[in-house]
Amino acid sequence: MTYWLCILNRDNWKSVLTHKVWGVSVRHRNTISRVEIGQGLLFYVVSEQRETRRLESAVCGRAEVASDVFKDTRRIFTSKTGEVYPLRVRLHNVVSFGEIPFKPLIPDLTFVKNKKRWSGHLQGKAMRALPEPDAALILQAAESHVSFPAKDSC
């Protein structure tokens, strides 16, 4: 199965869990147009500062694409710029695995060529295709965590 790594913040992960939808901005239309029904999505949450603590980047869950790309301008995602991420796909088999720290995976991820400046492989992207070995590595790490129903979040 082909997997995509979807990059988002924790608030938007909660929206994915609630609405069973993944969305991107219009500037990422070429990327999301390559997504096909039945492909897998892995959700990567970025590091964030929340009150007095730093939340590190992590992989939180997975889902399968259940629809072709469609446009919807309902505001279900948060954005500092007011973006609504209108290009969307419906999801099914949405699973939250809690937070799997991303940094320990970096040495073994083949798509990360520069291990010291690894974040450059994700910055400015909404999503990216994952090589099969990388998806397998992340899914294997997820198996060691307890999976939760989709209503739970990171």
Residue extents of the structural domains in the chain: 3-143
Task: Give the pLDDT mean for 58-80.
Answer: 96
Mean pLDDT for the chain? Answer: 90
Q: By C-alpha distance, which of 118, 107, 114, 117 is closest to 141?
A: 107
| pTM recorded for the entire structure | 0.89
Using CA atoms, how far apart are residues 1 and 4, in angstroms rounded to an integer?
10
138 φ, ψ (degrees, to nearest 5): -65, -45
CATH says 3-143 is which class?
A: alpha beta
**What pLDDT digit, counting tens, does each position of 24-65 carry?**
999 999 999 999 999 999 999 998 887 888 889 999 999 999
Per-residue confidence band for 120, with pLDDT thresholds at 50, 70 and 90 = low
Using CA atoms, how far apart are residues 121 and 108, in angstroms rounded to an integer?
14
**Which of the residue ranges 43-47, 48-52, 70-74, 128-132 would you say has the lowest mean pLDDT?**
48-52
The pLDDT value given to residue 51:
82
